[in-house]
Amino acid sequence: MPNLPIYLDNSATTPVDPRVVEKMLPWLTNRFGNPASSSHAFGREARAAVEAARAAVARLVNASAQDIIWTSGATESNNLALKGAAQANEARGRHLVSVQTEHNAVLDTLRDLESRGFTTTLLVPQSSGLLDLAAFEAALRPDTTLVSVMMVNNEIGVIQDIAAIGAICRARGIVLHVDAAQATGKVTIDLKALPVDLMSLTAHKTYGPKGIGALYVRKGTAALAPQMHGGGHERGMRSGTLATHQIVGMGECLRIAGEEMATEVPRLRALRDKLHRGLSALDCVRVNGDMQQRIANNLNISVMLPDCDQMIAMLTDVAVSSASACMGGGASHVLQSIYGGQPAPNAIRITVGRFNSEEEIDFALDYLTSKIRECQARKPVPAAA
């Protein structure tokens, strides 16, 4: 019997890898210098650690280290990318394009820009969760200056065709921002090949610490208006004293992810597919989102039964979710979008992680199956007279 409860919500956050913790610890104790203090050894060694981590992040996405800007996480990266690019390019136009299924850190930022006079087109994805490229291209206008499309959806795990989207944007001179918070360590990212101008990254979805992220800013093609002012840190784009310990942690977690992807992704896929086969054998289970264009560790299902609205509350021995952790417990706008505007019934997002074993997956499959069958066995509640 595995230790309970079993954590299967790795898209919400991941445990910090012990190797990452070990790398961070010295920067929380005796190696405490400010990376901006270049007049003494304490500051210089901190600066060297920051730059080594910057290079590690750049290697994972095949980018130049000078194009990596430190932030407090993907939410700040999204804000800096969208507000910064929209403001820097507003003389050319004020029309922005995105997708209904984006993370709230993108959608809420776009709403803020609308309050400042920008206009936004939010595209409806196909039922698979994938963007219709013809509809995307048709939505672009002469005054469109910025597009934001996430690489991997945080709820249903589908992988958008960023290469094709980027090619369309590049041909029109439109800045493309990609939220890749859920992609690192799960899909190959090659920013030397992808026509992407801005990319948001975070550590805590890839076994690193919370509170640290990065924004890739392609030099020469992406101008940003700073959103934080102070000491002119990070090429003037993001002022503030750098958190060396967190930066070191992000560099280490992404270094490990890059080294272990070749073996870890197939392992996660095998565990996820075992859950998929078992749960799909139940006639009341429907998979949400495309299963081919999807990251290896994600399974999002709906239990198509009327009397299971408290399903998640019943699952005390496994930690799963019904929507993004950033929804604050509200209904999933992602699933509502792919269900044609209707709420998805009894949705469960299961995301396998680095520290899950096959024994845990076997237990979770039996446990989830038994709970769903309990729902099936319930007599429908009669309607009120």
Backbone torsions φ then ψ of 47, nearest 5 degrees: -60, -40
Please answer whether residues 161 and 182 qualify as being in contact, where contact means their C-beta atoms are separated by less than 8 angstroms: no
Give the pLDDT of residue 329: 52
Structure tokens at 189: 């990212």
Please answer whether residues 86 and 146 qualify as being in contact, where contact means their C-beta atoms are separated by less than 8 angstroms: yes
- What are the residues whose beta carbons fall under 8 Å from the beta carbon of 353, sequence distance 6 or more? 7, 8, 10, 14, 15, 207, 268, 297
- What are the residues whose beta carbons fall under 8 Å from the beta carbon of 206, sequence distance 6 or more? 14, 184, 185, 253, 254, 257
Q: What is the mean pLDDT of the chain?
A: 94
**Range 360-373 average pLDDT:** 96
Q: Does domain 6-13+260-375 have CATH number 3.90.1150.10?
A: yes
The residues that bridge with 351 in the sheet, in sequence order, are 9, 298
Task: Work out the percent of the chain whose per-residue pLDDT is above 70.
Answer: 96
Rounded to whole angstroms, how far apart are CA atoms 93 and 84? 14
User: Would the pTM count as exceeding 0.85?
Assistant: yes
CA dihedral 68, 233, 117, 166 (to 10 degrees): -10
Task: Work out the percent of the chain whose per-residue pLDDT is above 90.
Answer: 84
Topology of domain 18-256, CATH: Aspartate Aminotransferase; domain 2 (3.40.640)
203 alpha-carbon distance from chain centroid: 10
Confidence of residue 340 (pLDDT cuts 50, 70, 90): confident
Q: Which residue out of 169, 284, 308, 326 is catalytically annotated?
A: 326
Give the pLDDT of residue 22: 98
What digits encode the pLDDT tens for the residues 86-137? 999 999 999 999 999 999 999 999 999 999 999 999 999 999 999 999 999 9
Closest among 288, 294, 244, 290 to 265, alpha carbons compared: 294
- Within the chain, strands assigned E span 6-7, 68-71, 95-99, 119-123, 144-148, 175-179, 198-202, 213-217, 285-287, 298-303, 318-319, 347-351
Domain with CATH 3.90.1150.10 in the chain: 6-13+260-375
What digits encode the pLDDT tens for the residues 306-339? 877 677 788 999 999 986 544 445 678 999 999 9
- What are the residues whose beta carbons fall under 8 Å from the beta carbon of 99, sequence distance 6 or more? 122, 123, 125, 131, 149, 150
The residues that bridge with 179 in the sheet, in sequence order, are 200
DSSP state of 291: S
Give the 3-state DSSP-derived string for 124-175, with helices as H, strands as E and coil as C: CCCCCCCCCHHHHHHHCCCCEEEEECCCECCCCCEECCHHHHHHHHHHHCCE
Domain with CATH 3.40.640.10 in the chain: 18-256
Question: Could you tell me how many residues make up the chain?
Answer: 385
Rounded to whole angstroms, how far apart are CA atoms 31 and 16? 21
Give the pLDDT of residue 382: 55
326 labelled catalytic: yes
Structure tokens at 213: 């992220």
Please determine, for residue 379, whether its predicted confidence score (pLDDT) is greater than 70. no
What digits encode the pLDDT tens for the residues 218-251? 988 768 998 988 888 988 889 999 999 999 999 9
